[in-house]
Homo-oligomer: A and B are copies of this chain.
Amino acid sequence: MAETMPRSVQRLMEALARLPGIGPKTASRLTYHLLRSPEQEAEELGQAMLALHRETGECPVCFNIMQAGLPMCNLCSDPARSDRLLCVVEDALDVLAIERTGAFTGRYHVLQGAISPVEGVGPEDLKIEELAKRLSAAEFEEVVVATNPTLEGEATAMYLKRRLQELPVRVTRLARGLPSGGDLEYADAHTLARALEGRAEL
């Protein structure tokens, strides 16, 4: 096989196949797509890949990803956002997801992971002390814990609840229940149980 394709083609296929969710077949399909496309397409992707780490940094306030060279990220420096409301998420992609809803106008705090004994991730590996310090220093009234509805996310939420209880701040969490557009009949028992538990006045 090795000799049936040029080294540079094989190299790109292998690099692409290392990405999560991209198998060898998709990797070769993408590589041959780029080979058939104008050189600029591969060029632009290549340059964007090379610039990725060089031009980004970690926001020292919320630990989100930010443009390199700035004192803090755009979400932390935006004067239009509320300094009373803080949303705690596991990672930077979750910030994007919440921003997409347009339903949150406070600040963020990115934990950079979730507690997972299996993977050996403890509270000290996350930005939890930084969160506590940040809450002590500022005037947040409410912290919305928006960790994932998974075992690790739940464990992290529980830990945060205990860790933050002495602080004069309300700690809330995202509602659990039936997803919009979902069908009750197809909801798993756990989701349905949480929807019952969390039932509210009509």
Which residues of A are in contact with B by a Cβ distance under 8 Å?
Answer: 1, 3-9, 11-12, 15-16, 18-22, 26, 28-36, 39, 41-56, 65-68, 74-75, 78, 91-93, 95-96, 99-100
Most central of A20, A49, A66, A92 by chain B CB within 10 Å: A49
- Tell me if A's interface is mostly helix, strand, loop or mixed: helix
Nearest CB of B to A149, in Å: 18
- How many copies make up the complex? 2
Nearest CB of B to A102, in Å: 9
Nearest CB of B to A36, in Å: 8
Chain B contacts for A95, CB-based, 8 A: 4
Whether B99 and A1, one on each chain, are in contact in the complex, defined by CB atoms closer than 8 angstroms, is yes
Would you list the 3 A-B pairs with minimal beta carbon distance, nearest first?
A46-B49, A8-B55, A46-B50
Whether B6 and A65, one on each chain, are in contact in the complex, defined by CB atoms closer than 8 angstroms, is yes
Q: Which of B26, B52, B78 touches A21 (beta carbons < 8 Å)?
A: B26
Nearest CB of B to A184, in Å: 26
Q: Which of B30, B35, B52 touches A12 (beta carbons < 8 Å)?
A: B52
> What separation, in Å, do the CA atoms of A18 and B43 have in the docked complex?
13
Chain B contacts for A34, CB-based, 8 A: 19, 49, 52
**17 A-B residue pairings within 8 Å (CB atoms):** A1-B99, A1-B100, A4-B75, A5-B65, A6-B56, A8-B54, A9-B52, A12-B48, A12-B52, A15-B41, A15-B44, A16-B45, A19-B30, A20-B33, A34-B49, A35-B52, A47-B50
